[in-house]
């Protein structure tokens, strides 16, 4: 290029004179400088301006798109990577011509989750049509002025009201009864080999939760393909929300179609109004019908409901079981704790009643509770996404203030607050069963690993108005399974004697808890009835 544009020279032409040589030598340099200058000008014009009161700018290594590529590739882990490499409590991440605020410090996250000027509604409205493929009429309604009202009715009325009091009580009881019957039937023969432990737990929890949430017409009970579709969809949700061309999201499209087609007959037959359906299903569907949505679009939208109820409980239980049973000494300690603390009755004909509620476990099984919290700490990667509706100020624990500008997206990365040694101490990357009950936790003032620091940095269920309303329900399900396995079974890896626990799958920005890589492929467990507990029927009590 350079030689072509230099007067007096032609490619492959005659030997050059001295001045021609000069031109040849300087032209590439001049052009390179021009490119750099123009490049910087373009970057400067395109880069968002950042007010000194805003969070400090963290530039990507690849200009303009570096953070986008990082988020696409690492998803929620990208926040942990950036927090660790910058050491910052909060940052402004430039992306193309825009910016996103990333909040990493637990105190700032807590302040952000509570702040009423930070709303999830714009984000929900923005991704819902692409993710759910509702009809145009419904998409217009949801994204129009009435959409805000309907979203608020769903989020601030239907959800909280359906997951409290008598409603959650019934959900608990139905799910626990279903778990009791599955686990009592399980391994009645004495020994059971489970080739894929992840899939086995998924099935167990999905059937109990599905029945509790949907009633006897549970769409997940009709065909296990529906359950598979839910997890395939989970793995593809980010792609769907970006509305990429169909060939790039084939698996996502297929999974969505299977799930929605399974839910359509349920809502069309109005099974959400059955007495045996939960208020969680009923109240949300009722709001949507009042808002004028047709049944098929209710089914399309409510494809997201089983995510809330299943997508986090199943992986958390999976990791909890791996964390416990891969440590034989811990298993012994926990057995003693559970037998002394949670068994309330053992009849002659083999019925064992176990407590599974939060208060009982908290009070009687501190080590089990610590294992549960430590599992949450290590595997919750939740990124809570909000939009600043007004110019808003977040204040950290030292009084330092950060301005968040109206219209900007704010990502609060709970995984980053669970991974900072400043709060958790030098063993932050290890699983410590007794972390939450260690003696030094009380003696270390406010420093790393103190109970005060840990309390501030432990945010597995979010906070503010969106604080997870299902957390105690999930807890009861998980405790029922774990304490049953502890008392009733010897649990071993299926292959060999070593626990080769799967690694983490990509940590999704869409849900809260990390999944095992490759759907837990190749990781099985063997369950044998424990001596003295051979013919037990399990009953759970809250
Ligand atoms: C270990 C299990 C679970 C974990 C770690 C978990 C975590 C979370 C987190 C972090 C949020 C906040 C999201 C945000 O800030 O944007 C959330 C919200 C929510 N969770 Fe859970 N969750 C679990 C189980 C459940 C279960 C079993 C249900 C239902 C039966 C449920 C229902 C919900 C709902 C409906 C919301 C949305 C609340 C709102 O936006 O107002 N969760 N969950
Ligand atoms: C919300 O925004 C308004 C306008 O900027 C501001 O005056 C108010 O203090 C903010 N509220 C909170 C809770 O930060
Ligand atoms: C069921 O879970 C909810 C939420 O757990 C909890 O508040 C309630 O105490 C539980 N129900 C019972 C029966 O205790």
Say which CATH number the domain at 484 has: 1.10.630.10
Closest C-alpha to 375, from 328, 419, 321: 321
To test the pocket of ligand 1, the residue of 308, 465, 482, 513 to mutate (highest count of ligand atoms within 8 Å of its CB) is 308
Q: What number does the ligand 1 atom closest to the CA of 156 have?
A: 41
In a domain, 93, yes or no: no
296 band by pLDDT with thresholds 50, 70 and 90:
very high
To test the pocket of ligand 2, the residue of 53, 389, 390 to mutate (highest count of ligand atoms within 8 Å of its CB) is 390
In a domain, 365, yes or no: yes
pLDDT score of 34: 74
Q: How far is CA 526 from CA 203, 325, 333, 368, in A?
A: 16, 11, 21, 22
Closest C-alpha to 283, from 163, 457, 367: 163
In a domain, 375, yes or no: yes
Closest C-alpha to 473, from 231, 154, 166, 163: 163
Name the more confident of 478 and 534: 478
> What does the alpha-carbon distance between residue 249 and residue 485 come to, in Å, rounded to a whole number?
39
**Nearest CA, atom 21, ligand 1:** 468
pLDDT score of 364: 97
Residue in the structure block whose two tokens are 């958390």: 316
In a domain, 107, yes or no: no
Query: Quick one: which H or E segment has residue 121?
Result: helix 121-132
Q: Has residue 10 got a pLDDT over 90?
A: no
pLDDT score of 528: 94
Q: Phi, psi (5° rounding) for residue 419?
A: -120, 15
Q: Phi, psi (5° rounding) for residue 64?
A: 70, -50
Average pLDDT over residues 421-449: 92
Average pLDDT over residues 487-502: 94
Domain total of the chain: 1
Ligand nearest to the CA of 404: 2
In a domain, 467, yes or no: yes
Q: Is 468 annotated as a binding residue?
A: yes
97 Cβ inside 6 Å of ligand 2: no
DSSP 8-state secondary structure symbol assigned to residue 403:
E
In a domain, 358, yes or no: yes
Average pLDDT over residues 10-33: 52
Token pair for 301: 């939208």
pLDDT score of 12: 34
DSSP 8-state secondary structure symbol assigned to residue 195:
S
In 229-360, DSSP assigns E strands to 343-346, 351-355
61-70 pLDDT, tens digit each: 999 999 999 9
Residue 474 CA to ligand 1 center (angstroms) comes to 9
pLDDT score of 265: 98
Report the mean per-residue pLDDT for the chain: 91
How would you class 4 by CB atoms within 10 Å of its CB: exposed for 0-12, middle for 13-18, buried for 19 or more? exposed
**Nearest CA, atom 11, ligand 3:** 169
Q: Has residue 45 got a pLDDT over 90?
A: no
97 band by pLDDT with thresholds 50, 70 and 90:
confident
**Nearest CA, atom 14, ligand 3:** 542
323-358 pLDDT, tens digit each: 999 999 999 999 999 999 999 999 999 999 999 999
395-423 pLDDT, tens digit each: 999 999 999 999 999 999 999 999 999 99
Average pLDDT over residues 169-192: 90
The mean-pLDDT minimum among 145-149, 265-269, 294-298, 449-453 falls in: 145-149
Average pLDDT over residues 36-46: 69
417 Cβ inside 6 Å of ligand 1: no
Q: Has residue 1 got a pLDDT over 60?
A: no
Q: Has residue 15 got a pLDDT over 60?
A: no
Q: Has residue 22 got a pLDDT over 60?
A: no
255 Cβ inside 6 Å of ligand 1: no
Q: What number does the ligand 1 atom closest to the CA of 317 have?
A: 1
In a domain, 537, yes or no: yes
Q: Has residue 3 got a pLDDT over 60?
A: no
pLDDT score of 40: 67
The full DSSP string for 470-538 is THHHHHHHHHHHHHHHHHHEEEEESSSSS-----BPP--SSSSBPPBGGGGTT--EEEEEPTT-TT-EE
Average pLDDT over residues 212-228: 96
Half-sphere exposure (Cβ direction) of 319: Cα atoms closer than 13 Å = 24
Rg for the chain (alpha carbons), in Å?
27
Q: Has residue 11 got a pLDDT over 50?
A: no
Q: Has residue 189 got a pLDDT over 80?
A: no
**Nearest CA, atom 7, ligand 3:** 472
> What does the alpha-carbon distance between residue 356 and residue 85 come to, in Å, rounded to a whole number?
41
152 band by pLDDT with thresholds 50, 70 and 90:
confident
380 Cβ inside 6 Å of ligand 1: yes
172 Cβ inside 6 Å of ligand 3: yes
In a domain, 497, yes or no: yes
**Nearest CA, atom 5, ligand 3:** 472
Average pLDDT over residues 78-91: 98
Strand 98-103, strand 409-413: pairing:
parallel
490 Cβ inside 6 Å of ligand 2: no
Range of the domain at 535: 135-381+458-501+508-541
24 band by pLDDT with thresholds 50, 70 and 90:
low
**Nearest CA, atom 14, ligand 2:** 392
């Amino acid at each position: 290029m350079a030689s072509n544009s230099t007067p007096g020279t032609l490619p492959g032409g005659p030997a050059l004179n001295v001045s021609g040589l000069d031109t040849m030598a300087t032209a590439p340099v001049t052009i390179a400088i021009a490119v750099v200058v123009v490049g910087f000008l373009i970057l400067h014009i395109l880069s968002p301006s950042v007010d000194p009161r805003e969070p400090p700018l963290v530039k990507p290594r690849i200009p303009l798109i570096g953070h986008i590529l990082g988020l696409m590739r690492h998803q929620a882990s990208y926040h942990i990577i950036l927090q660790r490499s910058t050491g910052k409590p909060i940052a402004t991440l430039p992306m193309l011509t825009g910016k996103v605020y990333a909040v990493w410090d637990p105190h700032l996250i807590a302040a952000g989750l509570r702040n009423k000027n930070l709303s999830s509604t714009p984000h929900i409205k923005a991704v819902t049509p692409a993710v759910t493929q509702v009809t145009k009429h419904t998409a217009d309604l949801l994204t129009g002025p009435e959409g805000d009202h309907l979203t608020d009715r769903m989020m601030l009325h239907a959800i909280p009201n359906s997951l409290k009091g008598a409603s959650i009580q019934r959900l608990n009881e139905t799910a626990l009864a279903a778990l009791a019957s599955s686990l009592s039937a399980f391994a009645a023969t004495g020994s059971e080999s489970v080739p894929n432990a992840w899939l086995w737990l998924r099935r167990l929890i999905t059937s109990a939760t599905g029945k509790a949430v949907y009633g006897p017409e549970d769409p997940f009970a009709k065909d296990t393909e529906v359950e598979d579709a839910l997890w395939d969809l989970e793995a593809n949700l980010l792609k769907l929300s970006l509305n990429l061309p169909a060939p790039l999201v084939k698996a996502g499209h297929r999974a969505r179609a299977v799930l929605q087609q399974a839910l359509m007959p349920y809502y069309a037959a109005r099974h959400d109004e059955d007495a045996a359906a939960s208020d969680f299903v009923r109240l949300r569907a009722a709001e949507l019908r009042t808002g004028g949505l047709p049944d098929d679009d209710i089914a399309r939208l409510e494809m997201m409901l089983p995510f809330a109820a299943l997508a986090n409980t199943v992986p958390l239980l999976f990791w909890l079981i791996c964390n416990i049973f891969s440590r034989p000494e811990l298993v012994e300690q926990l057995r003693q704790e559970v037998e002394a603390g949670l068994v309330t009755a053992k009849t002659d004909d083999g019925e064992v009643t176990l407590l599974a509620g939060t208060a009982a476990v908290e009070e009687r099984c501190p080590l089990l509770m610590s294992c549960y919290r430590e599992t949450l700490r290590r595997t919750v990667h939740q990124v809570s996404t909000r939009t600043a509706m007004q110019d808003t100020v977040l204040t950290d624990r030292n009084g330092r203030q950060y301005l968040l500008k109206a219209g900007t997206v704010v990502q609060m990365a709970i995984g980053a607050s669970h991974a900072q040694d400043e709060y958790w101490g030098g063993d932050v990357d290890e699983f410590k069963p007794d972390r939450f009950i260690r003696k030094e936790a009380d003696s270390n003032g406010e420093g790393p690993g103190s109970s005060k620091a840990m309390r501030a940095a432990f945010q597995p269920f979010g906070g503010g108005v969106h604080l997870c309303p299902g957390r105690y329900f999930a807890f009861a399900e998980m405790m029922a399974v774990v304490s049953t396995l502890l008392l009733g079974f010897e649990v071993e890896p299926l292959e060999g004697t070593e626990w080769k626990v799967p690694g983490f799958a990509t940590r999704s920005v869409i849900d809260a808890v990390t999944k095992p890589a490759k759907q837990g492929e190749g990781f099985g467990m063997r369950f044998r009835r424990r001596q003295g507990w051979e013919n037990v029927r399990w009953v759970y009590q809250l």
